[in-house]
Amino acid sequence: MRRVLFTAIALLILLGSFSTAFAAEPQRVEEIDWAILGEVWWFYFDFGIPDMRVDAYMYRPSTLAGWPFAGGPEYGTWWWTGPDSEMRRQSWPTYQYTDMWGWYYAEFMFPRDEVWFPCSFPYKWKCNYILDPWAMEYHSPAAQPFECYWDGPWLICLDWPWLINPADTVSPMEVYLIDEYGGGYIIPFEILGYYWKFSDVP
């Protein structure tokens, strides 16, 4: 009878310690990464438990009270002010479980979506505003790939108006890697702009 009682108590203690360990809050990565939407990023983190379900989410923190991260922005001097986004689950990758050593690997392309860079792109400039009837304040991405193409005898180059206002606009974004117990990692990003195609031009 004592053995049964001892075993039951030991199991309760173990289960209690496991549930406490699994109920940890997501751990925020201190270093801020920089990215351009359309880039493929990979993530490799140690969750410590083999074959555990992990989901990837994207989130845009609110900027109503200012830049939401303790550090930065490093490359920008201006950001659109607005509320946060919904927490959006990434449908890719198909890697949804940690490996046999408890490591989780994922890679996906940051979607070229106005949710993550609200100034829109290209040549819409939704963050620009009119100062007076003759002047407009332009805000362009902090980093923008420059592209040109030939249209008959003409070389057409699509770019933001650097000479009017140098590249300045960034946007905050976070990637959440959350395990089935609610723990995981939060990776902050400073979005500098995004890769675009000629078909994006209205």
Residue 16 above 50 pLDDT? no
Domain-embedded: residue 51: yes
Confidence class for position 161, pLDDT limits 50, 70, 90: low
* Residue 113 structural domain: 26-200
Residues 6+ apart with CB under 8 A from 200: 112, 121, 122
Domain-embedded: residue 165: yes
Domain-embedded: residue 8: no
Q: Which amino acid is at 96?
A: Q
The reported pLDDT for the residue numbered 102 is 95
Domain-embedded: residue 99: yes
Domain-embedded: residue 46: yes
Beta-bridge partner residues of 45? 104
User: First-to-last CA distance in the chain?
Assistant: 79
pLDDT digits (tens, 9 = 90+) for 55-70: 999 999 999 999 999 9
Domain-embedded: residue 5: no
141: phi then psi, degrees, rounded to nearest 5: -60, 150
pLDDT digits (tens, 9 = 90+) for 22-59: 557 899 998 999 999 988 999 999 999 999 999 999 99
Over residues 114-130, mean pLDDT: 81
Domain-embedded: residue 69: yes
Residue with more model confidence, 126 or 176: 176
Contact status, residue 39 vs residue 196, Cβ threshold 8 Å: no
Instruction: Please state the separation of Cα 51 from the chain's center in Å.
Output: 25
Which element (helix H / strand E) includes 12? helix 2-22
Contact status, residue 30 vs residue 79, Cβ threshold 8 Å: no
Confidence class for position 159, pLDDT limits 50, 70, 90: low
Domain-embedded: residue 43: yes
Total domain count for the chain? 1
